[in-house]
């Protein structure tokens, strides 16, 4: 049974293969590989692609990206997080008699 958001052609493929020296590789390919020994899984939606990319990233890489993102947010805004930024804006507005509402 096909899903509604699934197109006829996959957007890309998850490929699992080995190099003959005992090392295994997993990667996303835009074209279907011709390697007869590879295990190929078609990815039809962007959500499948995002989930697969997340699985392929190592835990240490995800932690590194999170730290860099936090550092960049601190440099860019001067606040520790989005909620800290909002609290600061709300406090400034209250101090001058204003009111803040967020749309998200």
Indicate the domain borders of the chain: 1-56, 59-104
User: How would residue 46 be classed by pLDDT, with cut points 50, 70 and 90?
Assistant: confident
pLDDT confidence tier of residue 6, bands split at 50, 70 and 90: low
Structure confidence at residue 1 as a pLDDT band (50, 70, 90): very low
3 vs 45, more confident: 45
- DSSP-based three-state secondary structure for 14: strand
pTM of the shown model: 0.44
Going across the sheet that includes 39-43, the strands are 24-29, 12-18, 39-43
When comparing pLDDT for 94 and 19, which is higher? Answer: 94
User: Distance between CA atoms of 21 and 94, rounded to whole angstroms?
Assistant: 65
């Amino acid at each position: 049974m096909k899903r509604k958001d699934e197109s006829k052609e996959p957007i890309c493929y998850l490929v699992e293969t080995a190099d003959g020296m005992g090392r295994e590789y997993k990667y996303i390919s835009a074209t279907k590989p011709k390697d007869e020994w590879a295990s190929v899984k078609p990815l039809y939606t962007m959500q499948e692609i995002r989930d697969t990319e997340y699985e392929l990233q190592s835990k240490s890489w995800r932690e590194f990206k999170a730290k860099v993102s936090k550092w960049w947010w601190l440099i860019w805004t001067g606040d520790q997080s989005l909620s800290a930024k909002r609290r600061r804006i709300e406090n400034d507005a209250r101090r001058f008699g204003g009111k803040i509402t967020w749309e998200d």
